[in-house]
């Protein structure tokens, strides 16, 4: 009897919750309509003031004889302006009435939706009560199936968390690879720079190389971290190395001649080729991870539905 009683109460509360979900959905619709109608009322109010001004001006002394010839008979013009003013006025009043009705409905729905947190809490409590009935009764016919469902859900949650961590690490690695690539691409024209042998020119080159060296170290760390996250997912031996081609030693080759600059450019091109290859590989892996994350999320939803179905089963 206890089981039936819990299921019965749970069904009742779930029906209330579903009803409140519909209320909340309708409330969202009402609020969106109110925003739209208020904007329309504001625009109509401005137009109404303009129409009223036109009527007053045409009725006043400012309507000069010259305009009679252009616009026609004054009385006809006054009638025309009054008609336009009346039409806008009627629209304005109709909008006000619509808004009043919407606000009244919004107030009622808001009051109804205020019970949502309490009903949700009751539902969760009843689900916990029903779960305990199943789990702690070793002879319960649903126990094994329910425990298997819980275990499956826990695994899906853990997998989702690990996928999310790997995705975030992959995005950081891709971002660092792009920065490093941009920095090195700026250096490709060094051999075509003017033959300025000033200390300033040499300093610019050194600074750019130092910047690339720092980015290289940062990028390699982010690649190592991404590899670690992939290892957590069971993808071992997944390492991503950037062949720096002795990039860290470039500064010792700074002699202002085109031969050395050409050598440096060749080294930069080799490094860029490696960077682009690693970037493309990680990008493909990241797309696969995102697809797996979406699939796992859908499976979690299905597992939750299955759990609720078991809770409601007699």
**pTM of the model as a whole:** 0.67
* Each residue's pLDDT tens digit, 23-55: 999 999 999 999 999 999 999 999 888 888 877
pLDDT-derived band at 141 (thresholds 50, 70, 90) equals: very high
Q: Within 10 Å of residue 246's Cβ, how many Cβ atoms? A: 12
Question: Tokens 């409590």 — which residue?
Answer: 125
Closest CA to 146 of 158, 157, 162, 130: 130
Residue 258: per-residue pLDDT: 47
* Topology agreement, domain 2-140 and domain 150-312: no
Give the residue extent of every domain in the chain: 2-140, 150-312
* Each residue's pLDDT tens digit, 66-98: 455 445 566 677 777 788 888 989 999 999 999
Higher-pLDDT residue of 40, 186: 40
Q: 264 pLDDT exceeds 90? A: no
Residue range 150-312 in CATH 1.20.1330: yes
Residue 282: per-residue pLDDT: 93
**Domain 2-140: top CATH class:** mainly alpha
Question: Tokens 């969106």 — which residue?
Answer: 32
* Each residue's pLDDT tens digit, 92-124: 999 999 999 999 999 999 999 999 999 999 999
* Each residue's pLDDT tens digit, 199-234: 666 666 667 667 777 888 888 899 999 999 998 888
How does the average pLDDT of the chain come out, rounded? Answer: 83
Q: Packing angle between helix 143-186 and helix 116-135, nearest 10 degrees?
A: 120
């Amino acid at each position: 009897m206890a089981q039936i009683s819990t299921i019965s109460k749970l069904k009742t509360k779930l029906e209330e919750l579903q009803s409140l979900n519909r209320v909340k959905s309708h409330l969202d619709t009402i609020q969106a309509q109110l925003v739209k109608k208020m904007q329309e009322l504001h625009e109509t109010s401005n137009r109404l003031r303009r129409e009223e001004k036109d009527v007053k001006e045409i009725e006043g002394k400012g309507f000069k004889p010259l305009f009679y010839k252009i616009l026609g008979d004054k009385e006809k013009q006054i009638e025309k302006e009054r008609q336009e003013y009346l039409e806008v006025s009627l629209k304005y009043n109709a909008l006000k009435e619509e808004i009043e009705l919407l606000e009244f409905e919004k107030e009622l729905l808001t009051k109804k939706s205020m019970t949502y947190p309490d009903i949700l809490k009751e539902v969760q409590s009843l689900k916990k009560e029903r779960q305990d009935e199943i789990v702690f009764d070793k002879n319960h016919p649903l126990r094994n199936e329910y425990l298997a469902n819980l275990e499956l859900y826990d695994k899906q949650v853990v997998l989702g968390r690990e996928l999310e961590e790997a995705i975030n690490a992959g995005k950081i690695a891709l971002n660092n690879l792009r920065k490093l690539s941009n920095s090195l691409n700026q250096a490709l024209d060094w051999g075509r720079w003017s033959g300025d042998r000033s200390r300033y020119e040499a300093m610019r080159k050194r600074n750019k190389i130092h910047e690339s060296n720092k980015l290289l170290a940062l990028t390699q760390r982010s690649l190592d971290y991404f590899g670690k996250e992939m290892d957590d997912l069971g993808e071992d031996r997944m390492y991503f190395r950037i062949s720096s081609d002795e990039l860290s030693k470039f500064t010792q080759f700074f002699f202002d001649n085109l031969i050395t600059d050409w050598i440096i450019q060749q080294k930069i091109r080799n490094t860029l080729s490696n960077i682009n290859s690693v970037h493309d590989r990680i990008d493909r892996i990241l797309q696969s991870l995102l697809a797996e994350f979406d699939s796992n999320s859908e499976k979690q939803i299905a597992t939750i539905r299955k759990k609720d179905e078991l809770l409601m089963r007699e």
